[in-house]
């Protein structure tokens, strides 16, 4: 075997928990099934496979015939299974106890299905922090794969990265294989002959060329299904590798067992190059991209790449307050699960692990946090877990603290049916409004903010240069929807519930941001804005949230705004009702005069949110869209319905009272629920 180089070829397969069933099915039809069947036809082509837990269970349940082929390939030694966190968390972002639990859960699942226990691990998004080493080792993992870029950041050269290295944390050893970035860009986009020549140039006899990347590049990314299967790229590539006198496909386990470490290495906290750019806010990301491009133009990028670092994955929790809120709520529930006295914590842990799935906490080439159904999956699991924990150890109806560590405290109003969280930042607005029976956070929306790719949006689509193969999604830029300047305007305030404004004749609007907490009771809190002579009370009464204002000596209009997030963004699965009559869908504008009631009915959620307004108000509603990039291009995504309620205020009145009751009802009649469509 030492007369040839080893090809260590691996693929990573994942679909987020909470993704639409049709997405799973399309991914199976266009990628997983054809890939498995092509590889099954070449028993001598050995490879590694990582598949996340939800995807394993989905495919084994829905497509057992294809999974039976994988099991057969496992038994004949053709495929080596890699472990990871069961629900594909970023290990560095979850507690040590959950890292170990998630790793063991997936290893147990794989061993049960195919009789093979992983020794290698895939790190989600190749996010490396040395703190993950002890969990990996304690879960039985002996080696992991990271990008060669991680090694370049330590001063290693490409010529050195032809095997594996060792690292340690607290005296616990883990071996690391460097994935070739060059191969990630060649495979499967370059012609098969070019991909093979690149492989052969990377390693000599006794050394290794390492490829490990998303399997979705083999059929789901644009143009890849025709290229990889109809035009036989994958079959041709395998045949060329097997006919090569220079390469021999091996599993990582085989190579690791017969070769020695190439030395000790300590890697910095980092991920792959593109991720380090995505983690930066818009303006720094643009400066970073300009610096990288200048180095490319000067033909210095290859030599300087390791020193042109962006941010780290955890920056996403700073960039997106909504991601940080989910993350810190998850950490709090993880502590409660650990403290629970249950002998059997299987259901608690399953919901916790599902809420730790990485996809909704960040954003890069793929939609991530911008996709409401992915965030909703996290929140559904968080709320089901919280409700279960509350039956074991009830919480007080009122609590105060800085949950998300942003320097501003929150006030939690908690009941059996609802939870309202008020951010004590002067706005007296709800940061979260969650229904436990429906497992829905109606505050789960997303503010519009600048992204580094928005600068390209108004220039329109462009075509990447062709060189005999096809372009990867990283090289494409297209528009799924027409994008205008107004679509890219960032929000001046967060998207919350009950943002208040005073509109006086002839004056600029006054946003009320100076509310002070003056009193709390068992079921609510009272705020005052002395300068505006307004008091505001928020209280929970069972499945009803009551918000009341008392306004004195003001003339003009008093306005409150609510952003309500529901599963059905558009169409008549999500519709506005008055008196039981449907008016329009959530994706359409709505104007009502003198409205005393309005219901938001969501047939997918099988519930509704009813607003009772006293006195009647002028009500307007419109969809809130954000603009984000995906592998298919820039798209507009509806995040929530923005409701604006306005009451006229007459100075001649000594005071006026305004009340809004929100009743959450889980008994929505009518059509059977369905998955919400895209906006």
**Active centre residues (catalytic):** 125, 214
Interatomic CA distance for residues 83 and 123, integer angstroms: 9
Q: Which H or E run contains 421?
A: strand 418-423
Q: Which H or E run contains 658?
A: strand 655-665
Environment class of 292 (CB within 10 Å of its CB; exposed 0-12, middle 13-18, buried 19+):
middle
Q: Which H or E run contains 243?
A: helix 233-243
Q: Which two structure tokens, joined as six digits, stand for 321?
A: 């307050």
Interatomic CA distance for residues 657 and 550, integer angstroms: 5
Place of tokens 């599963």: 567
Q: Rounded to the nearest 5°, which phi and psi values hold at 230?
A: -65, -40
SS3 content of the chain, % helix, strand, coil (to 5): 35, 30, 35
C-alpha angle 75-80-83 in degrees, rounded to nearest 5: 120
- Beta strands 120-122 and 79-83 are parallel
Interatomic CA distance for residues 191 and 640, integer angstroms: 44
Interatomic CA distance for residues 348 and 340, integer angstroms: 9
Q: Rounded to the nearest 5°, which phi and psi values hold at 592?
A: -130, 140
| Closest listed residue to residue 14, CA positions, set 123, 112, 148, 113 | 123
Interatomic CA distance for residues 306 and 284, integer angstroms: 18
Interatomic CA distance for residues 502 and 177, integer angstroms: 61
| Closest listed residue to residue 49, CA positions, set 92, 85, 14 | 14
| Closest listed residue to residue 131, CA positions, set 102, 164, 90 | 90
| Runs of H (alpha helix) within 513-614 | none
List Cβ neighbours of 391 (8 Å cut-off, separation of 6 or more). Answer: none
Query: Distance of CA 350 to CAs 50, 167, 631, Å?
Result: 20, 31, 30
| Closest listed residue to residue 577, CA positions, set 499, 665, 640 | 665
């Amino acid at each position: 075997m030492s007369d040839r180089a080893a090809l260590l070829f691996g693929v990573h397969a994942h679909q987020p928990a909470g993704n639409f069933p049709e997405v799973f099915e399309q991914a199976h039809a266009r990628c997983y099934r054809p890939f498995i069947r092509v590889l099954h036809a070449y028993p001598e082509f050995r490879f590694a496979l990582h598949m996340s837990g939800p995807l394993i269970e989905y495919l084994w349940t829905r497509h057992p015939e294809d999974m039976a082929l994988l099991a057969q390939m496992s038994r004949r030694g053709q495929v080596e299974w890699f472990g990871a966190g069961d629900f594909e968390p970023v290990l560095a972002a979850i507690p040590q106890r959950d890292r170990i639990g998630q790793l063991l859960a997936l290893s147990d699942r794989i061993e049960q299905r195919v009789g093979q226990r992983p020794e290698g691990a895939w790190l989600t998004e190749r996010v490396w922090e040395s703190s993950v080493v002890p969990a990996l080792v304690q879960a039985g993992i002996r080696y992991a794969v990271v990008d060669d870029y991680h090694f370049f950041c330590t001063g290693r050269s490409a010529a050195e990265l032809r095997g594996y290295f060792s690292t340690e944390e607290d005296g616990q050893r883990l071996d690391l294989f460097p994935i070739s970035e060059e191969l990630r860009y060649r495979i499967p986009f370059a012609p098969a002959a070019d991909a093979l020549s690149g492989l052969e140039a990377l390693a000599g006899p006794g050394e290794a060329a390492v490829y490990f990347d998303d399997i979705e590049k083999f059929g789901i990314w644009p143009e890849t299904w025709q290229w990889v299967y109809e035009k036989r790229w994958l079959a041709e590539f395998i045949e060329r590798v097997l006919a090569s006198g220079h390469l021999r496909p091996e599993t990582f386990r085989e190579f690791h067992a017969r070769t020695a470490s190439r030395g000790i290495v300590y890697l910095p906290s980092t991920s792959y190059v593109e991720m380090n750019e995505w983690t930066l806010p818009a303006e720094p990301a643009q400066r970073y991209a300009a610096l990288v491009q200048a180095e490319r133009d000067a033909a210095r990028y290859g030599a300087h790449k390791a020193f042109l670092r962006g941010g780290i994955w955890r920056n996403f929790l700073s960039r997106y307050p909504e991601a940080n809120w989910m993350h810190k709520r998850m950490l709090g529930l993880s502590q409660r699960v650990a403290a629970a006295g249950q002998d059997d914590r299987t259901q608690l842990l399953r919901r916790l692990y599902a809420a730790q799935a990485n996809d909704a906490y960040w954003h890069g080439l793929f939609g991530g946090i911008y996709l409401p159904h992915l965030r909703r999956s996290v929140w559904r699991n968080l709320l089901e877990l919280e409700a279960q924990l509350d039956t074991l150890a009830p919480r007080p109806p009122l609590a105060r603290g800085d949950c998300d560590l942003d320097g501003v405290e929150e006030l939690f109003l908690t009941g059996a049916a609802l939870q309202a969280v008020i951010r004590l930042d002067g706005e007296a607005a709800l940061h979260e409004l969650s229904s436990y029976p429906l497992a829905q956070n109606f505050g789960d929306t997303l503010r519009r903010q600048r992204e580094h790719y928005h600068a390209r949006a108004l220039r329109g689509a462009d075509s990447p240069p062709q060189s005999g193969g096809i372009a990867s999604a990283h090289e494409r830029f297209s528009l799924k929807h027409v994008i205008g300047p107004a679509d890219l305007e960032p929000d001046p305030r967060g998207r919350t519930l009950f943002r208040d404004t005073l509109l006086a004749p002839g004056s600029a609007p006054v946003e009320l941001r100076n509310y002070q907490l003056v009193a709390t009771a068992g079921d609510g809190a009272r705020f005052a804005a002395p300068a505006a002579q307004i008091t505001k009370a928020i209280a929970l009464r069972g499945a009803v949230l009551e918000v009341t204002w008392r306004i004195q000596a003001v003339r003009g209009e008093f306005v409150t705004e609510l952003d309500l997030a529901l599963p059905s963004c558009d169409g008549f699965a999500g519709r506005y009702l008055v008196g039981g009559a449907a008016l329009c869908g959530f994706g359409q504008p709505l104007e009502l005069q003198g409205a005393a009631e309005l219901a938001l009915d969501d047939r997918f959620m099988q519930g509704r949110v009813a607003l009772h307004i006293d006195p009647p108000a002028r009500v307007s509603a419109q969809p809130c869209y954000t603009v984000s990039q995906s592998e298919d291009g820039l798209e507009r995504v509806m995040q929530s319905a923005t409701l604006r309620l306005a009451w006229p205020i007459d100075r001649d009145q000594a005071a006026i009272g305004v009340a809004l009751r929100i009743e959450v009802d889980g008994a929505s009649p009518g059509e059977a629920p369905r998955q919400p469509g895209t906006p």
